[in-house]
Structure 1
Amino acid sequence: MKKIVLMIIFLLASIVLFACSQTDSEGTSGEGTEETTEANTEEKPELVLGLTNWTSTLPPTEIVTSILEEMGYSIEMEQANLAAIYAAMAEGDIDIYMDSWYPQQTQYLEEYSDSIEQLSPIYDNANAGMVVPEYMEDINDVADLVGNESMINNEVIAIEDGDPAMDELQELIDAYDLDVELVNSSEGAMISAAKASTDQNEPILLYGWRPHSMFNELGLKILTNKEHPEYFSGSSIHPLVYNNVNEKAPEAYEFLEDLTIPIPDMEEMIIKIDAGEDPEEVAQEWINDNRDRLDDMLKDNQ
């Protein structure tokens, strides 16, 4: 009888010890799961994107905003003129800017080289320079303007004085000794003046760049520049990042480094936005059309 009792006690003790060991194991396993979950759901930092009022800035900024939000980043936009954006980036108040034209903005890049990093181009071979309507058939090169300055009221209408491209435009005027005055205004005012002239088939000279909707909507052309090809010889357009973004948001940094957008796609998006379509919806449509390529980029950066 005593043997039976002892055997029962031994069995009960074994069961209790086994149950305790299972509980400890489950508890340890649960702690590990919680730690993994916390690591996977760790909040990503907020990123601030700079935005100018140029039409070429909006499509890539909206595309990047949507993709970065998909990646888990919180995004804020700060709109300002170009000089203010560079200054804010140098202080770390803006993390990303999507429309840096090289070499036109070299002076800013050099001034803030300790704080700002230029990434690989989103697109290149972007032309800029003096622009006239296509119906000005005898004016195809800047040299054709010499002696014909009165035709365009001795002025070239351009954008804000703070843009470095305006310095290059003035140098181009001086190189050809053109009797024209550089008239600075906003992009919107310049396009309004161009529309007023083209509606009446009147001559006009302005500054222009591709990608832009003006060429499709107003029938404009960029003049060649054969005698002084050192001016407006083509540009590449780059994302800029504050110099801690690679550490602060490495996945975002790699995505920006890899992103490319063809110029025809840029102009198509700009035309849609200028026609009144919602910029966010236009960007999302481009994302949907390029989803496979974008997903491959994001997968490579994980």
Structure 2
Amino acid sequence: MKKSFFVLLIFILIASLTACTSSDSSKNGKSEGANKEETLIFADAGWDSMRFHNGVARFILENGYGYKTDIMPGSTVATIQGLGSGDIDIYMEVWTDNVKESYQKVLDSGKAVELGINYDDNTQGLYVPTYVIEGDPERGIEPLAPDLKTVEDLKKYKDLFKDPEDPSKGRIIGAIPGWSADEIMTEKIETYGLDEQFNIFRPGSDGALSTSIVNAYKAGEPWVGYYWEPTWIMGMYDMTLLEEKEYNEKDWNDGYKTAFPSVKLTIAVNKDVSENKEVVDFLKNYKSSTEITNEALSYMQEHEATAEEAAENFLKEHEELWVEWVPEDIANKVKEKLS
């Protein structure tokens, strides 16, 4: 009887230990990369460049590493909050300057971890079609402003960019009313003394702004105005950013007398995912650029493709880039799925 009781006691202890171990393993499955039944949730804050990078990372994690993934849509603020709460695991494109306070708050709380920079070579400012400066022999376009290199050089070319409603001045296409860039560009133009020779025309929407570029480009006409990268426009059309003094805080705060500062676009994860070595290693290695993103966005526009289709096209066309992000065996699995 005593022997039976002792055996039963041992059995209960073993069962209890097994249950605890199983519970801990389940709890930490995401952390150790052992439990791939859990779904990794990506933030979708609503813009196509983020969706493209989500598509690339999800394809690799699903087909290379064997994880399940999904997305959670929401506003920028809501998705940053979701990253901190654990509703969102991975944020592929944090525009850090746009969410400074809320993003820093989740980082400082320890609820999220920044893994690195996706890309930080984005630009914005005054652009012209490159044919304005260099011409386009294939289209029979002669250089219209061969000496146009800087924003201040525009003073020589007000007649080239004539305002149809006020021919005595040139026309610069400005940013969208209500955008912070609109206020900055207005002051910049005054700082450079261009307001004496140019009027600013403000389109009513992003669509109207991009349409003005497309129409001018197709007609081979002069155009100068505000735009930014990455965008499908910059991937599809050859545009040149007019030069300004390199960004420094002192001159920027004195009438915006420099180029716009580049915005750091980071990759961040929830604290639980930060303990998953293979996912973290992959995301730390993930490095792209404005050029890559422009290309993907223009592919989506030109082919009426989804972000996921653009991601697969990138993986097929730029194998030399993404194979550097993952171990060889993972790369082989991804390549097999793509073939």
Letter in 2 for 1:63: V
Cα distance 1:51–1:107, how it changes in 2: closer, same or farther (>3 A)? same
Do 1:121 and 1:236's aligned partners in 2 also have CA atoms closer than 8 Å?
Answer: yes
1:199 alignment counterpart? 218
How far does the alpha carbon of each residue in 1:177-208 deviate from its partner, in whole angstroms, 9 at most, with x for none? Answer: 65465847654443223213333414241221
Which amino acid in 2 is paired with 1:242? Answer: N
> Residues 263 and 227 (structure 1 numbering): CA distance in 2 closer, same or farther, change over 3 Å?
closer
1:57 partnered with 2:50 = yes
Q: Closer, same or farther in 2 for the Cα pair 1:140/1:254, shift >3 Å?
A: same
SS in 1 for 2:117: coil
Is the 1:130–1:206 Cα contact (8 Å) retained in structure 2? Answer: yes
DSSP-derived class of the 1:65 partner: helix
- Stretch of structure 1 that moved more, 287-296 or 144-153: 144-153
Q: Supply the AA of the counterpart residue of 1:207.
A: Y
Residue 244 of structure 2 is matched in structure 1 by 225
Q: Deviations over 1:115-164 (max 9, x none)?
A: 44332222343333222223444453222346949566454135983xx7
Q: Is 1:67 the equivalent of 2:60?
A: yes
After TM superposition, the structure 1 = structure 2 runs for residues 148-167 of structure 1, keeping only pairs within 5 Å, are 148=158, 150=163, 153=171, 155-158=173-176, 161=179
Moved more, 125-134 or 182-191: 182-191
Alignment partner for residue 122 of structure 1, among 107, 118, 121? 118
3-state SS, counterpart of residue 57 of structure 1: helix
Q: Return the TM-score normalized by structure 2.
A: 0.60
Counterparts of 1:150-189 in structure 2, within 5 Å, are 150=163, 153=171, 155-158=173-176, 161=179, 172-173=188-189, 175-176=191-192, 179=195, 183=202, 187-189=206-208
Contact 1:48 1:96 in 2 (8 A): yes
Equivalent residue of 1:192, what SS? helix
Q: 2:153 aligns with which of 144, 147, 151?
A: 144
- Per-residue CA deviations over 1:38-75 (Å, capped at 9, x if unaligned) read 99973443222223444432321110111222323332
SS for the counterpart of 2:59 is helix
Q: Distance in 1 between matches of 2:204 and 2:184?
A: 16
Q: 1:264 and 1:244 mapped to 2: Cα distance?
A: 32
SS in 2 for 1:239: strand
Check the 8 A contact 2:234/2:294 in 1, yes or no.
no
**1:284 partner letter:** E
Distance in 1 (CA, whole Å) between partners of 2:183 and 2:153 is: 21
Partners of 2:86 and 2:200 in 1: CA distance: 38
Change (3 A) 1:258 1:292: closer
Letter of the structure 2 residue corresponding to residue 271 of structure 1: S
What is the TM-score with the length of structure 1 in the denominator?
0.66
Q: Distance in 1 between matches of 2:103 and 2:57?
A: 22
Tell me how far apart the structure 2 counterparts of residues 58 and 111 of structure 1 sit (CA, whole Å): 24
Pairwise CA RMSD: 4.0
Q: Name which of 80, 89, 109 aligns with 2:83.
A: 89
CA–CA separation in structure 2 for the residues paired with 1:235 and 1:261: 14
Counterpart contact for 1:197–1:204, Cα < 8 Å: no
**Is residue 2:284 matched to residue 1:284?**
no
Quickly say closer, same or farther: Cα 1:227–1:275, change in 2 above 3 A. closer
Q: In structure 1, how many angstroms separate the alpha carbons of the residues matched to 2:104 and 2:205?
A: 25
Give the 3-state SS of the residue equivalent to 1:98 in structure 2: strand
Partner AA of 1:256 in structure 2: L
Q: How many equivalent residue pairs? A: 261
| Aligned equivalent of 1:110 | 104
2:327 maps to a residue whose letter is D
Q: Which residue of 2 aligns with 1:240?
A: 268
C-alpha distance in 2, partners of 1:175/1:97?
38
Which of 282, 293, 300 pairs up with 2:324? Answer: 293
Residue 265 and residue 218 in structure 1: after superposition, are their counterparts in 2 closer, same or farther (change >3 A)?
closer
In 2, Cα distance between the equivalents of 1:228 and 1:65?
35
The answer to whether the 8 A contact 2:282-2:326 is kept is no
| Equivalent pair of 1:48/1:75 in contact (CA under 8 Å) | yes
